[in-house]
Chain A
Amino acid sequence: MSDSPQRAPRTTSPVGRRVFLGLAALGAVGVAVGGQVQNFLSNAVGSGFGGALPFGDRFRIYSLTNTYPKISHSAFRLEVSGLVERPMTLTFDDLRAMPATTLTKTFQCVTGWKVPDVEWRGVQLSHILETVGVKPGGDYITFESYDGADRETLTIAQAHLPDVIVAYEMLGAPITRDHGGPVRLYVAPMFGYKSLKWLSAIRVVTELDPGFWEQNGYPVNAWVDGSTGNTNPRFGLD
């Protein structure tokens, strides 16, 4: 306000508004192309070095509990039970003795970070289900974790997909404790939260039992490509 009598009126321009709108536009452009920028950078540097970038492709480790469960390979047991013909308790060596599958895929988090070319090795869930024999009425599977806090759910059809495995190796080495070792679920076609860490039990059940993330608004059908288009967390499973 130049209402002061001793000063000549000054010409002003709304620079503040322009800078504000410019920054907001920059933010919008960042949202639109940020994903591609990140891909370009990690390709340019090489995916192996992607983790060295400040905002590069790195795993972000989430846990629901205050400590990561600590389970040795020898103490590990995987209970397979519920509506099955032959309930079993599998050891780490039992899993390793089963036919192995290797998958190399992008690990995609629902919140928008990803890690390309992650190699997983483990047993197809379908093989385990065939071994125990699913009884009629066993339409869903509940997965339990050694953390005692999280659960996950798949339909019996989803559980038979070839790229759904019970994994015991990641990037050519035993799965570390922070990544859910010794054994975790790896559901390749779905967002990361479906790949339950510290897997302790596989139960065949009649009804859907949503886990922590599903109860907090994340969809049960978490297809990365969004193929079902279903956003209802409880119904419309295929």
Chain B
Amino acid sequence: MSTALDTTSATMRVLRFDRVQRAAHWVNALLFAVLIATAIPLYFGSFFGVVLARHPVEQLHLWVGIALPLPIIVSLVGPWGRQMRADVKRFNLWTREEIAWMRSAGRRPLVAEKFNPGQKLNAIFIAASILIMLVTGSMLKWFRFFSVSLREGATFVHDSLAAVIVVVIIGHLFMALTHRESLGSIFKGTVSEKWAGTYAPAWLSELRGRSEETTP
């Protein structure tokens, strides 16, 4: 049985994202890309009177939107979702040091776990956004069950949150492109031990502790 820490490898690489997580990430990213690409002409086109075949674009936005929670849900359930579930637990549970680090806006030193508080917030934000966009989008699609005032509120939330999501994704892309090894792990799955020692030292010692237990 292979462990997360492959001590026999000369390159000493550790698994950060397994196959299921990588697949979930990229399907999720693709769905977000389609949603943003269809939202832009729907939103700005309707303001500036740009003419487009609105109906097919609208239908694509609708169905991709409905499919949006699927990659995460599928990656969480079942026997293949073990590491995904473990990482969700990591996103959820924060140490006192992490809370203090976040409060100091990253100025306090922190011995980072697998994910630092900023990365955790990004994941939580995206998860909450998927829920909120799905609910408000559904309210606009199946509007009959809601008063005009609630529809106005749903439009308001859907539009404003869309803008925030775009900003957060731009930030996510910026961080990815400026941290090449981290970026590599969402393609290949692994990072070097050296990287883990710098960016996630607490995680590395956790893996070492575990591999000492499993490999005599």
Contact = CB atoms under 8 A, between A and B. Distances in A.
A34 interface: yes
A224 B120 contact: no
B153 A31 contact: yes
B94 A15 contact: yes
Interface string A43-76: 0000000000011001111111111100000000
A66 B52 contact: yes
Contacts of B205: 4, 6-7
Given A19-B124, A30-B160, A34-B154, A4 B209 contact: yes
Given A7-B205, A31-B136, A24 B128 contact: yes
Interface stretch (A86-94, A111-119, A125-133, A138-146): A111-119
Interface string B185-206: 0000000000000000010011
Given A4-B205, A24-B128, A30 B140 contact: no
B175 to A, nearest CB: 19
Contacts of B99: 13, 15
Contacts of A11: 95-96
Given A16-B124, A66-B52, A111-B151, A34 B95 contact: no
B153 A6 contact: no
> For chain A, what secondary structure do more than half of its interface residues adopt (helix, strand, loop), or is it mixed?
loop
Given A30-B157, A31-B136, A55-B156, A14 B92 contact: yes
B34 to A, nearest CB: 20
B1 to A, nearest CB: 17
Given A4-B210, A63-B51, A27 B91 contact: no
Interface string B132-146: 100110011001100
Contact of B161 (A27, A36, A108): A27
B77 interface: no
B53 interface: yes
Given A11-B96, A14-B92, A31-B136, A37 B51 contact: no
A13 B93 CA distance: 5
Interface in B38-78: 45-47, 49, 51-55
From DSSP, what is the main secondary structure of chain B's interface residues? helix
Q: Which of A38, A61, A68, A231 has the most CB of B within 10 A?
A: A61
B206 A2 contact: yes
A34 B157 contact: yes
Interface string A3-30: 1111100111111110110011001001
Nearest to A66: B53
A97 interface: no
Interface string B85-126: 010110111111011000000000000000000001100110
A111 B143 contact: yes
A33 interface: yes
Given A1-B206, A63-B54, A178-B49, A113 B155 contact: yes
A28 to B, nearest CB: 8
B166 to A, nearest CB: 13
B10 interface: no
Contacts of A38: 152, 156
A123 B182 CA distance: 66
Given A2-B206, A63-B54, 16 more contacts: A3-B206, A13-B96, A13-B99, A15-B93, A19-B121, A24-B128, A24-B131, A27-B131, A27-B135, A30-B157, A30-B160, A32-B150, A33-B153, A36-B149, A112-B148, A112-B154
Closest 5 pairs (CB-CB, A-B):
A34-B156, A112-B151, A35-B152, A4-B209, A34-B153
Interface of B: 45-47, 49, 51-55, 86, 88-89, 91-96, 98-99, 120-121, 124-125, 127-129, 131-132, 135-136, 139-140, 143-144, 147-157, 159-161, 163, 202, 205-206, 208-210
15 contacts: A10-B95, A14-B93, A16-B91, A20-B128, A27-B161, A31-B154, A31-B157, A35-B148, A62-B46, A64-B55, A67-B51, A110-B151, A111-B140, A112-B148, A219-B144
